[in-house]
Amino acid sequence: MSEKEASTALLRETNAGIQMGVSSISDIIDDVESADLRQALHDSKLVHDRLGGEAHKLLHLYGSDTKEPHPVAKAMSTAKTAVKMTVDRSDRTAAELITDGCSMGIRSLTHYLNVYKNADSNVRALTKRVISSEQQLIDSVKGYL
């Protein structure tokens, strides 16, 4: 696989992960009681939006379109959030859902970094910044677990 193909593939996966993160935060933020937790989610959503903008610019440079998150994964995430928050509408549940989602995102993007090792260094750096932002969100919500 060429560097361009690997870069495009990694960017598309990174962008889909960013979209999934933004969607998950949006699904839960209105149910959060703590102002501090709500602010942490809001701040993370802003970071994800900024990183998504960077991914879109790079995808455009590579002549590619975006990749939507897998519809089944998105539907399962939304359903899991709805069910868990209906059963226990607490900041603890919100923090658990966010932590689980971030952990899945970190695992997925780390996998794609390994698969697309010959992707351009700028693309790999963007993916690593997304992973870092996911870890920062985990760190900021762990006090609610």
pLDDT in tens, 51-73: 999 999 999 999 887 666 666 66
Q: How far apart are CA 114 and CA 136, in angstroms?
A: 21
* Rg from Cα positions in the chain: 15
Give the Cα-Cα-Cα angle 42, 20, 16 (nearest 5 degrees): 125
Is a pLDDT exceeding 90 seen at residue 22? yes
Can you give the pTM of this predicted structure? 0.89
Q: Could you give the domains of the chain?
A: 3-144 (1.20.1260.10)
Higher pLDDT, 49 or 82: 49
Residue 73, pLDDT score:
67
Q: What is the pLDDT of residues 78-137, one digit of tens each?
A: 767 766 767 788 999 999 999 999 999 999 999 999 999 999 999 999 999 999 999 999
